[in-house]
Structure 1
C-alpha cells in the first residue's frame, strides 16, 4: 500500500459536541501525481469480537468528521468502520485549481477511488466480512462499482441514494443537455450552482437535509471551524457525469449483473433526490429491497432520532445474516457433575 504522511493541516477536526470514535486513525492513500485520498479507520468494535467491517461512503460535499457519531454507533453495534473523503472534497486532493469547486469528469473516477481504498486499505487493515453503508452520491458510486465489489462485499445499504433527480424527466434532460454542452465546449470546470451549505440562523423548517436542530448546529460548527473540508459549488462536468451514471442504471443488462443483496432506504420527505427512481431500481434488481422512512428528510444519518434510529435498525437487521453478532460460546457442561447433583437432590430410596 502506498501511503504518505499527513499534510500540514490537522488530520481531523473534533470537538466536545462531535468527538471522534475511540482510537480513530486517519491516513492518506497516495494515488500518485500528488493525488491523495484521506481515509479514516475506527477499528474499535465493541461488545465482543468484530462482526466485520462497514465501509461508509459519504455523500457529495461531505467529510469524515460529519460521520463521527455514526462511526461510534457502528462500533457499538460490533462493526469496524472504514470511510474516506471523495476526491474534490474533505481533505482529499482537488481536481481543479479552485479548491472550492467540486469537480469530476466521470463517476468512474469515484468508483476507481473506492476500489483502491478497499483493496489497499480496507483489506489490509480491516477484518471481514465486508458491507457498504452509503449515503446519497455514495450510493450511486456503490452501484457503479458493484460488479467489481461483488466477490468481497456481502451486503449494501443505500440511504437516499442519488439515482435520480426529483421532478419531471423533461427537466432532467434539459439540465443534462446544458451541463453536457458546457462540458464539450471546454467549460466543464465552470461552477453551475452553489453547494447546499448550512447558514447560521436559517429556519429549520426550510432545511431540506434534516429536521434535527442539534445536528444542524453541530455540522454548522464543523463548517465554521474547518471551511476547507467543504466546497462552495459544483462543476458542469460533475453534473454531466452524475446524470450519465444515473442513465446507465436504466440498462436492463447492467441491472441483471447487480447481484449483491442491496437495501434501498428512502427518506419520505426527501426533496434532494428521487424516491420514485430509487424504488423502481430496487424492485428491478434481483437482489434489491426497498424501505421508506416516512417524514424523514434527505440526510437520514443526520436526522432526528425518531427517523435515524429506525434507519440504523433496518441497516443492522439487513446485515445480520451476513455479518452476525458474534456471541461468546456457551461454557461446556460437565454431564458427570450434573448427574451427581441430580442424584444428590433425589429423596432417599428414589430411583
Structure 2
C-alpha cells in the first residue's frame, strides 16, 4: 500500500503511527492509519464518528498501546483525507449509507495486508457505531465489540422528526441532497462552539486537543451533514432497530449528558442483547473516550478486560437466535 500523509505532531499517539492510501471497491480513495503496540494482545478496529479522522484517535491508540493492543482506524469516505464526495468539501455527505460498508471491507483488507495482530476487536463511536453494528451483523471478523455513544438513533425533538424525514426525502428528488441539514453549516464545530457549551467533552484539555488539530490541519475538518446523509442515517438507524443483535460479547459506554445520539435506542438495543453490558458515565458527554484521564482509564480497563476474555470465534459473528428481551448488565454509574 502507498503511504499517505500522517500528522503525528498533533496526534499525540504512540511513536509508530503511519497511514496509507487504499481504494474502496467502488473506487473511492480512503486513508487508513495504524499504531502497533510493543506487547500485542490483538488489534482494535476503531470506527470513528462523523467529522472525525485518524489523528483524533492518537491518544486513544496510546491508551490501547499501554494495555497491549494495536489500533487500526480510517477516514470514512467524505471526511478526513479520504475522498470528499461533493463540490462543498465541508459537507458531510454520502450517497448511500451502505457505501460505508465498502470502507469497512477495505479496512479489513488493509488489516490483513498490514498483518495486524489477532484477535481483532471492534470499537465504534457515534456514526461509526451505526456502521459497526451493521458490519458485525453482516459478519465482521471480530471476537467482541464495544460501542461509544453509538448512533443507533439521532436525538431530536419529537415534533421535528416528521419534518426531518419529509425534508431529507424530498430534496433527494430535486437534486438538492447535498445541501446542509437544517440548523447546520460548513463550520468546524470545535472552532465555533465555546468549551462551556460544547456537547462533546467535559475535559478542557481534550477540547483544546481537538481545536489544535483543526487549526493545524484544516483539511481534516468537516462541517454539518447534508440532507442526503440525514435521510440515509434515519433510514439505516430505523432498519437496524428492527434487526436482532449479533452473538458477540458487547459493551457500550454512554454519557449521562448525551445530547447527540438517542439514549433510548441504545438502552433498547442493549436490553435485548444477551450478555451485553451498558456502562453509564456520570456527567459524560458524547465523546466519553475524549474525556479526562480519570473518566477514560476505567472505561479502557473494562473494555480491554472484555477483549482479553472474549471467547475464540470462527471469524464471523452469528445473529443471536435468542431474540427475546433480556435485561442488560448495566453497571453502576461512574463518577467523572
Provide the TM-score with structure 2 as the length reference.
0.86
Match status 1:138 vs 2:128:
yes
Instruction: Tell me which residue corresponds to 1:299.
Output: 287
| Alignment equivalent of 1:59, drawn from 38, 49, 63 | 49
**For 1:213-266, what per-residue CA distance to the aligned partner results, in whole angstroms no more than 9, with x for missing partners?**
111111111101111101123211101111111101221xx215x222221211
Whole-angstrom CA distance in 2 between matches of 1:215 and 1:105: 32
**Aligned residues of 1:56 and 1:83 also touching (Cα < 8 A):** yes
Pairwise CA distance, 1:173: 3.0
Q: CA deviation at 1:184?
A: 2.4
Residue pair 2:188, 2:221 contacting (<8 A) in 1 also? no
Q: Does 1:236 align with 2:227?
A: yes
Over 3 Å counting, the alpha-carbon distance change for 1:103 and 1:56 in structure 2 is same
**CA distance 1:167–1:102, shift in 2 (3 Å):** closer
2:42–2:118 CA contact under 8 A, matched in 1: yes
Unaligned runs of 5+ in 2: 313-336
Q: Distance in 1 between matches of 2:88 and 2:191?
A: 22
Query: Larger deviation: 37-46 or 17-26?
Result: 17-26
Q: Deviations over 1:159-209 (max 9, x none)?
A: 000111224544323212211111222211112222661136x54321111
| Aligned: 1:102 with 2:92 | yes
Q: What's the counterpart of residue 70 of structure 1?
A: 60
Q: 1:190 aligns with which of 179, 183, 193?
A: 179
Match of 1:181 in 2: 170
User: How many corresponding residue pairs?
Assistant: 308
Quick one: which of 260, 263, 267 aligns to 1:279?
267
Deviation at 1:82, TM superposition (A): 0.5
* 191-200 vs 289-298, which moves further: 191-200
The equivalent residue for 1:209 is: 200
1:198 is paired with a residue whose SS is helix
Structure 1: tracts of 5 or more residues without a match = 325-351
Other-structure match for 1:219: 210
Query: Does the 8 A contact of 1:133 with 1:158 survive in 2?
Result: yes
1:157 is aligned to 2:146:
yes
The TM-score, its normalising length taken from structure 1, stands at 0.82
- In the alignment, the residues of structure 2 paired with residue 316 and residue 32 of structure 1 have an alpha-carbon distance, to the nearest angstrom, of 32
